Amino acid sequence: MTVSLLVITHDTIGQSLVETANSMLGVTPLHIDILSVSKTTNPDDARQQAEKLIEKNTDTLVLTDMYGSTPSNVACHLKDIDHVRIVSGINLPMLVRVLNYPQLELDELVNKALTGGQDGVLTCNKDAARG
C-alpha cells in the first residue's frame, strides 16, 4: 500500500519544498497534495479542504511547517483519523527522506520523516557546536 502525502504550510513554502525535492530526485514517487494557508485563509475552510484531500487516500502522512501555527492547527484537526499521521517542522531533508522510501508503511514513514528532519539540522561551524 502506498502512502500519500499532504503538505500543509504557510503560503508557498510547501510548493517550493515539493518542487525542489522533485528537481533533486527527478521523480515524485508518492502522491502529494499541497494545501497553502495564507493570513487571509479561513481556518475552517482550510480544515474542510484538508479533509477532502485525505478522504480519497488510504494512508496519509501530513507534513506541516511550524507547530502551533495555523497550518499546523489545520493539520492537527486530522489527528484522530486512523489512517493519518502528522509531522510538524517540515524541511527539505525531511521531505527528501520521505520520498526516498515510498515503499514503507505509514508509521515507518513517520520515523523516516522525523529522522530526516532532525538529521538535516546541524551547524556547519565546528566551533559553534562547542558552546
pLDDT at 126: 74
pLDDT > 90: percent of the chain: 89
Domains and CATH numbers, the chain: 3-119 (3.40.50.510)
pLDDT in tens, 8-56: 999 999 999 999 999 999 999 999 999 999 999 999 999 999 999 999 8
Q: CA-CA distances (angstroms) from residue 86 to 33, 106, 122, 124?
A: 14, 10, 23, 29
**Which is it for the CA torsion 61, 66, 71, 72, positive or negative?**
positive
Q: For residues 22-39, b (16+ Cβ closer than 10 Å) or e, as one string?
A: beeeeeeebebbbbbbee
Band (1; pLDDT cuts 50, 70, 90):
low
The structure's pTM equals 0.93
Tell me: pLDDT of 130 over 70: no
pLDDT in tens, 105-128: 999 999 999 999 999 999 888 776
pLDDT at 131: 55
pLDDT at 128: 67
